């Protein structure tokens, strides 16, 4: 996702911090300087948002769903998973895990705040900071707020996914998403109105805009999934495509790419599929070596899709592998290429279906 950068990984899951989190920390530091208490709260909030998202990821992995990465925002985070679970009961459990974790942490911190009403050592922090008990109380309250906010039954909050999953047990997935998105947009508009009517709640305007945009993006993503799931690869693939053989040079492969206007090239021997040579791999080779190195000496992606597969599955492969061209093979003979599916073909299929709604 744009405007986020990696800060580490946990159990092989990359963890990224969104730029807005840094902007919030800088803003709080500048506004409240030289009082550091609010800044400390924001730093701890970052930690607890991470635990919130980690709970989602753990639940996903328990259900054999791959987690690509975790992105942390000031008012929550995003666990990017391989795909939305088809089973509604799995989806609502995954969504519910985050808020429950925040609520449990909040309750535990509130309890500790009553048991440890002591002051932090003056040698560590300035004397004007509140007691450790007060710090734990505020952190507990923030966790309860984080958990409660994410339980709002509207996208893009976790509560919206729980709501969608419960509806999906009784109706079509697309209809369930439509109602959850509609509710999310209403919540977003309501927050913006409250922020304008009551100036003391001005931050609700920003949150409302975030909620409205998030709900709209969820609607688009669902349209994409449901649309492409019903289209077969054979309906949108190209039967005519340029290819290269392993004995051709990299320069010749680039010429085929430019002519076909795709950043990848199909590699065949006597019409038998050998793999795909990608633009990214070719760009690693110095220009003066491309006239001598052959395609067969390059690492090839031996990835293909059957012509009877759904375009949605093909889309997932191209996104995951960062490929612009996906070979389509005969379902009975995996080495016989019958066409290619391009990113342009996928986009056209989506646009046509989207415009025909």
Residues 195 and 243 in one domain: no
- Do 261 and 325 meet the contact criterion of CB atoms below 8 Å apart? no
**Of 187, 174, 191, residue with least CA distance to 215:** 187
Exactly one of 16, 53, 91, 268 is catalytic; name it: 53
- Residue 138 CA, chain-centre distance (Å), reads 30
Q: Do residue 248 and residue 221 come from a single domain?
A: no
Per-residue pLDDT 10s for the chain (357 aa) are: 456 777 777 777 778 877 777 777 777 677 766 667 777 777 787 788 888 888 888 888 787 777 777 777 665 566 666 566 667 788 888 888 888 988 998 898 888 877 765 544 434 444 444 556 677 888 888 888 888 888 888 777 788 888 888 888 888 877 787 888 888 888 888 888 988 888 777 777 877 887 787 777 767 767 666 666 777 877 777 776 677 888 888 888 888 777 777 777 878 887 778 888 887 788 888 888 888 888 888 888 888 888 778 777 777 777 777 777 788 887 777 777 777 887 777 777 777 656 555
Instruction: Specify whether 193 is located in the same domain as 86.
Output: no
Three-state SS for the chain is CCCEEEEEEECCEEEEEEHHHHHHHHHHHHHHCCCCHHHHHHHHHHHHHHHHHHHHHHHHHHCCCCEEEEEEECCEEEEEECCCCCCHHHHHHHHHHHHHHHHHHHHHHHHHHHHCCCCCCCCCCCCCCCCHHHHHHHHHHHHHHHHHHHCCCCCCCHHHHHHHHHHHCCCCHHHHHHHHHHHHHHHHHHHHHHHHHCHHHCHHHHHHHHHHHHHHHHHHHHHHHHHHHCCEHHHHCECCCCEECCCCEHHHHHHHHHHHCCCEEEEEECCEEEEEEEHHHHHCCCHHHCCCCEHHHCCCECCCEECCCEHHHHHHHHHHHCCCEEEEECCCCCCEEEEEEEHHHHHHHHHHHHHCC
Of 195, 214, 229, the one marking the end of a domain is: 229
Residues 257 and 134 reside in one and the same domain = no
How many C-beta atoms lie closer than 10 Å to residue 141's C-beta? 15
Spatial contact of 57 and 67, defined as CB atoms under 8 Å apart: yes
> What six digits make up the tokens of 142?
């923030």
Domain end point (choices 94, 124, 151): 151
53 is catalytic: yes
Are both 62 and 206 inside the same structural domain? no
Q: How many CA atoms lie within 13 A of 27 on its CB side?
A: 8
Gap between the Cα atoms of 351 and 189, Å rounded = 28
- Residue 104's pLDDT is 92
User: Do 55 and 75 touch, CB atoms closer than 8 A?
Assistant: no
- The SS3 call for residue 157 is coil
Domain containing 218: what range? 160-229
Task: Let me know whether 136 and 42 are in one domain.
Answer: yes
Same domain, 16 and 147: yes
**Whether residue 240 sits in one domain with residue 192:** no
Number of domains forming the structure of the chain:
3
222 and 240 together in one domain = no
Residue 329 main-chain phi, psi, to 5 deg: -115, 160
Phi, psi of 341 (to 5 degrees): -110, 125
Q: Which two tokens stand for residue 173?
A: 């997935």
Q: Do 126 and 41 reside in the same domain of the chain?
A: yes
Distance, in Å, from the CA atom of 194 to the CA atom of 225, rounded to the nearest integer, reads 34
Q: Is the pTM of this model over 0.75?
A: no
Q: Compute CA distances 239 → 91, 234, 306, 324, whole Å.
A: 38, 9, 13, 16
pLDDT at 252: 84
User: Which pLDDT score is estimated for 157?
Assistant: 79
End-to-end CA distance of the chain: 28
Residue 327, domain CATH: 3.10.580.10
């Amino acid at each position: 996702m744009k405007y986020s950068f990696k800060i580490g990984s946990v159990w092989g899951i990359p963890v990224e911090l969104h730029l807005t989190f840094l902007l919030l920390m800088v803003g709080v530091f500048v506004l409240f300087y030289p009082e550091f208490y609010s800044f400390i709260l924001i730093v701890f909030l970052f930690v607890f948002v991470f635990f919130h998202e980690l709970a989602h990821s753990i639940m996903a992995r328990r259900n054999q769903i791959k987690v690509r990465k975790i992105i942390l925002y000031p008012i929550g985070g995003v666990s990017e998973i391989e795909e939305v679970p088809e089973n509604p009961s799995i989806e609502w459990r995954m969504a519910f895990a985050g808020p429950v974790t925040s609520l449990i942490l909040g309750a535990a911190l509130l309890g500790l705040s009553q048991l440890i009403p002591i002051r932090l050592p003056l040698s560590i922090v300035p004397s004007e900071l509140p007691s450790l008990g007060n710090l734990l109380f505020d952190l507990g309250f923030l966790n309860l707020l984080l958990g409660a906010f994410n339980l709002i039954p509207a996208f893009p909050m976790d509560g919206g996914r729980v709501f969608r999953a419960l509806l999906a047990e009784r109706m079509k997935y697309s209809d369930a998403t439509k109602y959850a998105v509609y509710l999310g947009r209403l919540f977003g508009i309501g927050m913006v109105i409250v922020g304008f009517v009551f100036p003391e709640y001005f931050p609700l305007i920003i949150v409302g805009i975030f909620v409205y945009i998030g709900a709209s993006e969820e609607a688009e993503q669902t349209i994409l999934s449901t649309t492409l799931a019903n289209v077969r690869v054979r309906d949108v693939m190209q039967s005519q495509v340029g290819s290269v053989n392993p004995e051709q040079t990299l320069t010749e492969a680039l010429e085929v790419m430019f002519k076909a206007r795709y950043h990848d090239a199909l590699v065949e021997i006597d019409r038998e599929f050998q793999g795909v040579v990608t633009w990214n791999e070719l760009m690693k080779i110095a220009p003066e070596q491309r006239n001598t190195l052959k395609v067969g000496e390059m690492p090839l992606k031996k990835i293909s899709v059957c012509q009877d597969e759904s375009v949605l599955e093909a889309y997932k492969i191209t996104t995951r592998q960062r490929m612009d061209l996906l070979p389509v093979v005969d379902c009975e003979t995996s080495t016989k290429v019958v066409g290619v599916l391009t990113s342009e073909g996928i986009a056209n299929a989506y646009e046509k279906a989207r415009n025909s709604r």
